Structure 1
Amino acid sequence: MNLHGSPFEDGIETYLPRGVDHLGFIEAKLRDLRGFATLAHELIQNADDAKTNAKVISFDVCDDAFIVDNDGKFSDCGEMEERICPWKNDPTIAHACDFHRFRTVASRDKREEEGTTGAFGIGFIAVYQITDHPEVISGGRHWILYDENPENKRIHVCKGCNRCQRSELPG
């Protein structure tokens, strides 16, 4: 707005970017998601929201890892190179697949899908109290998060390793 009132008086519109400090947002939300009970609750809720509705979930605390395993599977549109999930524009589905949801922190997309518990897209942030680089393995995909990187390099897509090639993994 100029000093005399209307922001459009001179006929020229000016816009500036406004963003969110990604790590600052995660840090602020993590303050609300502290404790192992909260962590377990959020991970159980995520497993419950999986398309196949996970029936079994296990927590394995190892010397070098905390492994959460379940028999659920992320829904996958198969178009990960697209920024917007094509399912959102499909009237028979009308929401993003789980992998696209995961790519956008706080997407709130689950609230559009019937039968899901999560609503805001922030529960997974609870894992940052135990690791800086969480990994997701589901449906033949293995993603490793590097949130300190620029936005276009925060998810490392593993091309194949011992962990993501285990035959007992879901999907």
Structure 2
Amino acid sequence: LKKLLEEYPDGTQVLREILQNSDDARSKVQTFVLDHNTYQSERLLEPHLNKYKNFNLNIDKYQGPALLAINETIFEENDFESLLSLADSKKQDQFDKIGVMGVGFNSIYHITDSPSFITGDKYVILDPHEWYYNGGVKFNFVEENLIQEYPDQFAPFAPFEISCNERFGGTIFRYPLRDSTFSNISKKIYETNEILKMFRKF
């Protein structure tokens, strides 16, 4: 991914790539939100991997400020496969399996190390470092009752009235801002004021 980022400019181009993906998905609405909050971490999903402990990382690493992007379309199954393949270290160079959306999605890794999103009844976490999950993981948050079981995990999505027992009628991407140089993808730390500058220039 670090190499792939060289093909995608930083700054406002990140927002343009998000907008392009939304347009490709035939969404008529695209909303950007900058969330300055840091959320509680007492009830978070249990990681599938424990590599984060080897690097002295915490389970709440991604509970801080984030950029959110909301549109009105719901992911199809091939969309999931596209992004999960991109996050899988074994498939990152196989562009034919990633697809156009996945390649364009690369630009978001300028600002984050672990995107997540809610679409329909699915909740997806991408982890290309494989610190917490094996590339990425997909949950059915309705069937698994995740919002009630792990409220802190879903607290950042609360303003959008996500119900614990019904599908969400669109997609909400959450991009926690990179807060350390520990990343293998990029060493650039993003502060909220830099996202605000992107908004003004966009």
Q: Which has the higher contact order (CA 8 A, sep 6+)?
A: 2
Question: 1:108, 1:121 within 8 Å by CA — same for their partners in 2?
Answer: no
1:62 correspondence with 2:35: yes
Q: Distance in 1 between the 2:101 and 2:117 partners?
A: 19
Q: CA RMSD in A?
A: 2.7
SS at match of 1:102: helix
TM-superposition CA deviations, 1:85-132 (whole Å, max 9, x none): xxxxxxxxxxxx211222222544697xxxxxxx37311111111111
SS at match of 1:40: helix
Higher helix proportion (structure 1 or 2) = 2
Question: 2:17, 2:104 within 8 Å by CA — same for their partners in 1?
Answer: yes
With structure 2 as the length reference, what TM-score do the two structures score? 0.49
Q: Paired residues, what number?
A: 116
Match of 1:170 in 2: 169
Aligned-residue sequence identity (percent) comes to: 25
Q: Distance in 1 between the 2:117 and 2:101 partners?
A: 19
| Residues 137/107 of structure 1: CA separation in 2 closer, same or farther (3 Å cut) | farther
Q: Which of 128, 148, 169 is equivalent to 1:147?
A: 128
Question: 2:82, 2:102 within 8 Å by CA — same for their partners in 1?
Answer: yes
1:101 correspondence with 2:82: yes
SS at match of 1:55: coil
Match of 1:44 in 2: 19
Q: Distance in 2 between the 1:57 and 1:126 partners?
A: 17
Alignment of 1:99-138 (within 5 A): 99-105=80-86, 107-108=95-96, 119=100, 121-138=102-119
Question: 1:75, 1:99 within 8 Å by CA — same for their partners in 2?
Answer: yes
Q: Distance in 2 between the 1:132 and 1:153 partners?
A: 14
| Residues 110/102 of structure 1: CA separation in 2 closer, same or farther (3 Å cut) | closer
Match of 1:86 in 2: none
